[in-house]
């Protein structure tokens, strides 16, 4: 799902290689330190799913991976945070309070067998051979801190989520004060407004069940889309974007649980008036009930018209579920995460260079990088974080997010008028932001306008940095 090149090919990695080349062979410790900094760039994107119990986190995780790896239930059933990452052989370990690793049975963790670890664990790590996990580490969490079974698990949840690069925060109906409180707590525990997840995507979950539900006259998912837009507008400080999702519809489609016979049943319902279809006229009541649980009532009602084959039905389910839009948002988040990694590595290397004044080449290389277009990206990262925290409604938040979320100059510039020359447009924009920086309200806005002006100058000269 994530293009591996986005994360693998980080310019800061090339800087690390250059530095290692400039270090005398006898300084082995220093080489190893820089190699360790570089190794952090090759990690899969870390994504945490947060939200109340039963918000739909585990179901959505299964949809993203395309495999039912996280236990889901109407009752709370994710008891610990679980980190799902790529690895062979497939295995699970529990991490105890004092950091020891106990082997666990995967079946037990996933709720398929009795769970009796020898002693309390605070989180579990599951390694699986899944293509999706090669570029994405997914962290499932038990629920908001207040409802977690005990304090250590709550703390581990906050720590793991605070260390993620992307947070997917699920809520049903509306985001409440405990939703925003937990997001604030995560931000706090990651060390302030310019740390922690670069992207927080709000997910209005159970979108299939909004309004009068799946069999209602109104379109539940259409309503969810409007509601998501309202939440995004009212909480710009907490959510980079808000999207409607039906994790259950996506999980069903992605895990191949609709058969040709199911599609046939849906076709039989297609010609019926809504009420007749809802009350199973003409089809076996058990089959109807099973399909309603599998597809959701919305999927059964609206999917009737799209069931020419099981794969057509699967495609429709995926589109309607919102999971594809979420995956697009995750791709944007990966681009942002790459920039944030660049910024973090540059910080680390500045620190290393300061500690080694007898190696002036080191300092010179780092300095040159910091003044290149890539070094400037680190300023964009900081400006966006500070501005979205201090002035979340400023239009420049969006301008900075565009710069950070897309690879091509046209996309990075936001809306370029049709027929306009991209470089000329960037030059004009640079002048605009420069003028705005003179009349900005407060330090965060001034810094943002100056940063944007400089970004536009880079784009007018070089297009996108590479």
Ligand X SMILES: Nc1nc2c(ncn2[C@@H]2O[C@H](COP(=O)(O)OP(=O)(O)O)[C@@H](O)[C@H]2O)c(=O)[nH]1
Least distance in Å: CB of 308 to ligand X?
Answer: 24
Site for ligand X contains 73 (CB under 6 A): yes
Give the per-residue SS3 of 419-441: CCCHHHHHHHHHHHHHHHHHCCC
Site for ligand X contains 54 (CB under 6 A): yes
Pair 100, 10: CB distance under 8 Å:
no
Least distance in Å: CB of 71 to Mg ion?
Answer: 7
Q: Which segment (40-48, 50-58, 347-355, 388-396) binds ligand X by CB under 6 A?
A: 50-58
* Closest residue to Mg ion using C-beta atoms: 78
Residue (of 197, 233, 176) closest to 45 by Cα position: 197
Q: Which is nearer to Mg ion, 78 or 296 (CB)?
A: 78
Site for ligand X contains 248 (CB under 6 A): yes
Q: Which is nearer to Mg ion, 70 or 326 (CB)?
A: 70
Least distance in Å: CB of 62 to Mg ion?
Answer: 10
Least distance in Å: CB of 49 to Mg ion?
Answer: 8
Site for ligand X contains 323 (CB under 6 A): no
Site residues (vs Mg ion, CB under 5 A): 57-58, 78
Pairing of strands 121-128, 91-96: antiparallel
Q: Which residue of 72, 157, 265, 310 would you call a contact of ligand X, by CB under 6 A? A: 72
Least distance in Å: CB of 140 to ligand X?
Answer: 7
- CA-based angle 391:395:397, to the nearest 5? 60
For residue 167, the surrounding DSSP H or E stretch is strand 166-172
Site for ligand X contains 55 (CB under 6 A): yes
Q: Which residue of 20, 53, 416, 422 would you call a contact of ligand X, by CB under 6 A? A: 53
**How long is the chain?**
466
| Beta partners for residue 104, in sequence order | 92
- CA-based angle 172:177:183, to the nearest 5? 85
Tokens of 286: 């058990």
Pair 154, 53: CB distance under 8 Å:
no
Pairing of strands 136-140, 166-172: unpaired
- CA-based angle 84:132:408, to the nearest 5? 125
CA distance 167 to 173: 19
Considering only residues 99 to 118 of the shown chain, the ones binding ligand X according to CB under 6 A are: none
Q: Which segment (243-251, 372-380, 405-413, 450-458) binds ligand X by CB under 6 A?
A: 243-251
Strands (E), 188-250: 199-205, 241-244
Q: Which residue of 10, 50, 58, 460 would you call a contact of ligand X, by CB under 6 A? A: 58
Site for ligand X contains 81 (CB under 6 A): no
Site for ligand X contains 208 (CB under 6 A): yes
Considering CB distances under 5 to 8 angstroms, the limit depending on partner class, which of ligand X, Mg ion, none binds residue 146? none
Number of neighbours of residue 74 by Cβ within 10 angstroms? 6
Least distance in Å: CB of 214 to ligand X?
Answer: 8
Considering CB distances under 5 to 8 angstroms, the limit depending on partner class, which of Mg ion, ligand X, none binds residue 73? ligand X
Q: Which is nearer to ligand X, 61 or 386 (CB)?
A: 61
* Closest residue to ligand X using C-beta atoms: 56
Number of neighbours of residue 451 by Cβ within 10 angstroms? 26
Least distance in Å: CB of 60 to ligand X?
Answer: 7
Helices vs strands, H then E, count in the chain: 20, 9
Q: Which segment (48-56, 155-163, 327-335, 444-452) binds ligand X by CB under 6 A?
A: 48-56
Least distance in Å: CB of 326 to ligand X?
Answer: 12
Site for ligand X contains 157 (CB under 6 A): no
> Could you give the 3-state DSSP secondary structure of residue 116?
coil
Q: Which is nearer to ligand X, 55 or 122 (CB)?
A: 55
Q: Which residue of 13, 44, 56, 314 would you call a contact of ligand X, by CB under 6 A? A: 56
Pair 282, 268: CB distance under 8 Å:
yes
Site for ligand X contains 296 (CB under 6 A): yes
Tokens of 439: 């009349």
Give how many residues touch ligand X by CB under 6 A: 22
- Give, as one character, the DSSP assignment of residue 336: H
- Concatenating the DSSP letter of every residue in 398-418 gives HHHHHHHH-SSHHHHT--PPT
Which residues bind to ligand X, rule: CB under 6 A?
A: 51, 53-59, 72-74, 76-78, 205-206, 208-209, 246-248, 296
């Amino acid at each position: 799902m994530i293009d591996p090149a986005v994360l693998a090919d980080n310019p800061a990695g090339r800087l690390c290689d250059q530095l290692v080349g400039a270090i005398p062979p006898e300084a082995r410790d220093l080489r190893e330190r820089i190699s360790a900094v570089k190794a952090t760039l090759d990690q899969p994107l870390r994504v945490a799913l947060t939200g109340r119990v039963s918000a739909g986190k585990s179901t959505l995780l299964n949809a993203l991976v395309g495999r039912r790896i996280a236990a889901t239930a109407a009752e709370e059933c994710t008891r610990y945070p679980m980190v799902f990452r790529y690895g062979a052989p497939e295995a699970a370990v529990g991490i105890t309070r004092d950091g020891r690793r106990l082997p666990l049975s995967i079946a037990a963790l996933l709720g398929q067998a009795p769970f009796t670890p020898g002693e309390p664990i605070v989180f579990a790590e599951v390694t699986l051979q899944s293509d999706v996990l090669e570029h994405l580490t997914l962290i499932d969490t038990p629920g908001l801190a207040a409802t977690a079974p005990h304090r250590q698990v709550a703390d581990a949840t906050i720590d793991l989520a605070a260390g993620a690069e992307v947070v997917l925060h699920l809520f049903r109906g509306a985001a409440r004060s405990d939703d925003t409180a937990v997001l604030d707590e995560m931000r706090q525990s990651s060390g302030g407004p310019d740390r922690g997840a670069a992207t927080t995507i709000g997910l209005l979950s159970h979108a299939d069940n909004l309004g009068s539900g799946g069999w209602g006259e109104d379109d539940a998912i259409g309503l969810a889309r409007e509601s998501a837009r309202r939440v995004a507008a009212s909480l710009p400080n907490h959510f980079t974007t808000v999207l409607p999702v039906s994790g259950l519809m996506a999980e069903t489609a992605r895990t191949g649980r609709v058969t040709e016979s199911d599609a046939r049943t849906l076709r039989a319902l297609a010609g019926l008036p809504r009420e007749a279809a809802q009350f199973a006229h003409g089809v076996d009541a058990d089959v109807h009930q099973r399909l309603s649980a599998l597809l959701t009532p919305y999927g059964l009602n609206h999917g009737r018209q799209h069931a020419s084959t099981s794969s057509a039905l699967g495609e429709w389910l995926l589109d309607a579920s919102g999971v594809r839009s979420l995956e697009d948002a995750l791709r944007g988040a990966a681009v942002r995460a790459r920039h944030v990694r660049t910024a973090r590595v540059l910080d680390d290397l500045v620190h290393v260079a300061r500690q080694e004044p007898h190696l002036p080449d080191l300092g010179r290389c780092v300095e040159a990088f910091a003044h290149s277009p890539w070094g400037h990206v680190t300023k964009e990262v900081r400006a966006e974080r500070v501005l979205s925290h201090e002035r979340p409604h400023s239009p420049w938040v969006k301008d900075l997010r565009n710069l950070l979320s897309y690879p091509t100059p046209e996309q990075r510039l936001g809306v370029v008028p049709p027929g306009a020359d991209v470089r000329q447009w960037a030059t004009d924009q640079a002048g605009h932001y420069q003028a705005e920086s003179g009349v900005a309200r407060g330090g965060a806005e001034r810094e943002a306008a100056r940063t944007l002006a400089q970004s536009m100058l880079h784009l007018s000269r070089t297009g996108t940095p590479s």
